[in-house]
């Protein structure tokens, strides 16, 4: 067992997702098997080849969506909404909810920091609409790039770039909460959250901070990104019901479901959390990362290696009863590699169930890792798992049992997240 000085615990959770924006709603939807995949609300119908996805439809961006806030903090956030795009808003909201949930109170600002994961955030075309209209008016209805410096650029808001910089979720929440300690932004797509957790744990263990806010936000729902995703990757086609579109590890899977979401956790040193009597949701007892994007075999080996390494870091903290949280893209050739890697990790571990939260909401970009982490933490707290949806005919490589919803969550879980390019990170979380 790690010494108290090296132990890092989870004391707060916050979420914005297609399956709910508070912990009670998220757990209710998970245990009931209710999917977050619905008809588009914020994307135009008829533009993409599919008309359904996983939007965080309950998140409106209004200040009430940020959770309970002091009046001064409300004013600060409302003032800065003009320089936040939707992805940044979701990340800030999830962070403020996590801090409230942790009941952190006053902390030494020099001993509190933040690591935040995100995608590269695309500018929305509307930012340039007035500039394009101005250029066309100056050229008799035609747009010529040579007119942009004179007629177009002056019509673009001077702060437009601040709305889309991937370090801004971190910047906003650190400023709002006066966190002056170690600070970083990670942009490694789907692996971002787990990599951020691993870095924050390292920061606390080496004594550079007592508290670290760790979050992620991401989206595949964007007028330009969604079109790009539909051209670059296999996309799940519309089904009836839409909830059956996300089919990770199933032989009938067609591709990813586009979605959006954000999640944040509060990490503290065990000693700091114990002194203030914090509610402990789990302990990070192991982590590992790697890269294996050259061939399918390399991806499979990297997933297996990171899962095994993260578990071995737990030492004697690892219980006999636990579960594994898989990534599950819904792209059969990718899922085969992960399924085979998980089979190797679980070889000889009879009865260890595998859950796949992505079966509820598909691909949330960088936000997906955080939402899946919250899902397993909720399962630990409630003592039971939630069902994996739509896994009717498992891939032959999936020589393990998917959760049905009636299994014990156990005293720990392994979780893995990886990108299509091969970046992989795994975490080992144990009950305290």
**pLDDT per residue as tens digits for the range 19-30:** 999 999 999 999
List the CATH code of the domain at 11-122+164-430: 3.40.47.10
Measured in degrees and rounded to the nearest 5, phi and psi for residue 209 equal -160, 155
Whether residue 124 is predicted with pLDDT greater than 90 in this model: the reply is no
Question: Residue 340's closest CA among 296, 375, 384?
Answer: 296
Residue 350's pLDDT is what? Answer: 76
Residue 201's pLDDT is what? Answer: 98
Cα(67)–Cα(53) distance, integer angstroms: 25
What pTM was estimated for this model as a whole?
Answer: 0.93
Tell me if 50 sits within 8 A of 237, measured CB to CB. Answer: yes
Residue 1's pLDDT is what? Answer: 41
Tokens for 226, please give them. 């969604």
Cα(190)–Cα(206) distance, integer angstroms: 26
Q: Is the CA virtual torsion 284, 355, 361, 35 positive or negative?
A: negative
Cα(175)–Cα(114) distance, integer angstroms: 10
pLDDT for 319-337, tens place per residue?
Answer: 999 999 999 999 999 999 9
Residues pairing with 282 in the sheet: 10
**Using only C-alpha atoms, what is the Rg of the chain?**
22
Strand spans (E) along 37-108? 38-39, 52-53
CB within 8 Å of 304: residues ≥ 6 apart: 341, 342, 344, 345
Tell me if 121 sits within 8 A of 165, measured CB to CB. Answer: yes
Cα(94)–Cα(88) distance, integer angstroms: 10
Measured in degrees and rounded to the nearest 5, phi and psi for residue 408 equal -70, 145
Cα(92)–Cα(173) distance, integer angstroms: 6
Whether residue 40 is predicted with pLDDT greater than 80 in this model: the reply is yes
Average pLDDT of the residues in 226-247: 87
pLDDT for 150-187, tens place per residue?
Answer: 999 999 988 888 888 999 999 999 999 999 999 999 99
Express as a percent the part of the chain with pLDDT over 70. 99
Q: Is the CA virtual torsion 36, 427, 290, 194 positive or negative?
A: positive
Q: In what order do the strands lie in the sheet with 112-118?
A: 183-186, 112-118, 211-219, 260-269, 8-16, 282-291, 423-430, 412-418, 323-325, 353-355, 401-402
Residue 5's pLDDT is what? Answer: 63
Cα(203)–Cα(424) distance, integer angstroms: 20
Residue 124: exposed, middle, or buried by beta-carbon count in 10 A (0-12, 13-18, 19+)? middle
Tokens for 214, please give them. 């760790």
Ramachandran sector of residue 158 (left: φ over 0; alpha: ψ -120 to 50; beta: rest): alpha
What is the domain partition of the chain in residue ranges? Answer: 11-122+164-430, 125-161
Cα(98)–Cα(94) distance, integer angstroms: 6
Residue 241: exposed, middle, or buried by beta-carbon count in 10 A (0-12, 13-18, 19+)? exposed
Average pLDDT of the residues in 288-314: 93
Count of residues for the chain?
432
Residue 366's pLDDT is what? Answer: 95
Question: Residue 368's closest CA among 202, 236, 238, 248?
Answer: 248
Instruction: Give me the residue label for tokens 């960088």.
Output: 366
Residue 207's pLDDT is what? Answer: 96
Cα(88)–Cα(160) distance, integer angstroms: 13
Please report the DSSP string for 292-329 in residue order: --SSHHHHHHHHHHHHHHHHHTTGGG--SS-EEE----
Tokens for 56, please give them. 């965080």
CB within 8 Å of 91: residues ≥ 6 apart: 116, 118, 169, 172, 173, 215, 216, 217, 262, 264
Cα(35)–Cα(121) distance, integer angstroms: 26
Average pLDDT of the residues in 234-249: 95
Of the spans 76-90, 282-296, 369-383, which averages the highest pLDDT?
A: 369-383
Whether residue 68 is predicted with pLDDT greater than 90 in this model: the reply is yes
Residue 3's pLDDT is what? Answer: 54
């Amino acid at each position: 067992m790690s010494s108290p000085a090296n132990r890092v615990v989870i004391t707060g959770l916050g979420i914005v997702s297609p399956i709910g924006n508070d912990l009670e709603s998220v757990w209710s939807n998970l245990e009931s098997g209710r999917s977050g995949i619905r008809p588009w609300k914020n994307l135009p119908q008829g533009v993409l080849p599919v008309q359904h996805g996983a939007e965080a439809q309950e998140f409106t961006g209004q200040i009430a969506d940020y959770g309970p806030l002091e009046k001064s903090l409300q004013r600060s956030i409302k003032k800065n909404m003009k320089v936040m795009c939707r992805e940044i808003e979701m990340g800030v909201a999830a962070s403020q909810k996590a801090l409230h949930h942790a009941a952190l109170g006053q902390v030494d600002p020099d001993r509190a920091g933040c690591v935040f994961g995100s995608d590269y955030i695309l500018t929305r075309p509307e930012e340039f609409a007035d500039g394009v209209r101005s250029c066309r008016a100056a050229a008799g209805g035609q747009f010529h790039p040579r007119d942009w410096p004179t007629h177009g650029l002056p019509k673009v808001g001077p702060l437009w770039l601040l709305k889309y910089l991937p370090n801004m979720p971190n910047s906003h929440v650190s400023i709002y909460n006066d966190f002056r300690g170690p600070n970083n932004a990670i942009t490694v797509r789907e692996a971002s959250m787990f990599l951020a957790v691993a870095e924050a744990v390292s920061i606390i263990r080496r004594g550079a901070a007592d508290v670290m806010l760790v979050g992620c936000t991401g989206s595949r729902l964007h007028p330009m990104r969604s079109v790009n995703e539909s051209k670059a990757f296999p996309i799940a086609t519309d089904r009836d019901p839409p909830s059956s579109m996300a089919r990770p590890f199933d032989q009938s899977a067609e591709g990813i479901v586009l979605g959006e979401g954000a999640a944040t956790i509060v990490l503290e040193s065990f000693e700091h959390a114990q002194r203030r009597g914090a509610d402990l949701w789990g302990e990070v007892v192991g982590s590992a990362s790697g890269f294996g994007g050259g061939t399918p075999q390399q991806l499979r080996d990297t997933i297996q290696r990171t899962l095994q390494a993260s578990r071995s870091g737990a030492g004697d903290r690892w219980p006999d009863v636990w579960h594994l949280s898989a990534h599950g893209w819904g792209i059969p050739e990718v899922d085969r590699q992960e399924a085979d890697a998980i089979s190797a990790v679980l070889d000889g571990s009879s009865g260890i169930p595998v859950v796949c939260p992505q079966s509820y909401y598909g691909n949330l970009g960088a936000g997906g890792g955080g939402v899946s982490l919250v899902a397993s933490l909720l399962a630990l707290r409630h003592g039971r798992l939630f069902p994996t949806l739509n896994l009717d005919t498992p891939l032959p490589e999936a020589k393990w049992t998917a959760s049905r919803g009636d299994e014990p969550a156990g005293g720990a879980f392994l979780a893995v997240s990886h990108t299509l390019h091969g970046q992989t990170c795994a975490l080992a979380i144990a009950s305290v």
